[in-house]
Amino acid sequence: MSLKDTSKKFEAKLKKIKVVCFDLDGILTDSHVWWASEEVGFNRTFCIYDGYGMKLLMKAGIKVGVITGGNSISVTKRTEQLGLDFCYAGNEDKREAYMDMMKKYNVTPEEVLYMGDELFDIPLLRKSGFSATVPNCSDEVKEQVDYVTIKESGKGCAREVIDLVRYAQNIHPNIGDF
């Protein structure tokens, strides 16, 4: 089944999405961190396709951000570089951040897409109007979501979910000829 066909399957839910939230480690990264230095802390690798997809959603008026338990310079720098609408970092109990984000953007849970991969993401996955995870996470997480991506952590999995939203909401980049 193509991604466009999959999007049609979830179209009713995806059309309602106004805010897209991602966990960072294990979704936007491949779940590996390495110690860089005392000044930098832990470092991560990000997928460029995910970043471009986030920018497409933001240009279309969808709020995009991160709610992550991790916190380091690499988290801050990547979210700032992308110009994300929000970044909540440093607390594995993400419920307060989620509620604050909903209040800030005046949205209901059914208008939120959340993508996470860890056990502490389950409350947000359950609450959100559309939820997604990656194939390399635990079965307990997979059992809670609407969609499990084909692509693995940090390898374009967020873009895969972004494209589901784009197809359902008819969001396309302005690509003109020259």
178 belongs to a structural domain = no
* CATH assignment at residue 118: 3.40.50.1000
Total domains in the fold of the chain: 1
154 belongs to a structural domain = yes
Specify the pTM: 0.92
Do 68 and 88 form a contact (C-beta atoms < 8 A)? yes
Binding residues for Mg(2+): 23, 117
175 belongs to a structural domain = no
Tens of pLDDT, residue by residue over 41-66, are 666 788 899 999 999 999 999 999 99
Binding residues for substrate: 25
Q: How many residues does the chain have?
A: 178
Tens of pLDDT, residue by residue over 110-143, are 999 999 999 999 999 999 999 999 999 999 999 9
Binding residues: 23, 25, 117
84 belongs to a structural domain = yes
Do 143 and 115 form a contact (C-beta atoms < 8 A)? no
Token pair recorded at residue 177:
């000829």
Task: Give me the domain span that covers residue 157.
Answer: 3-169
23 belongs to a structural domain = yes
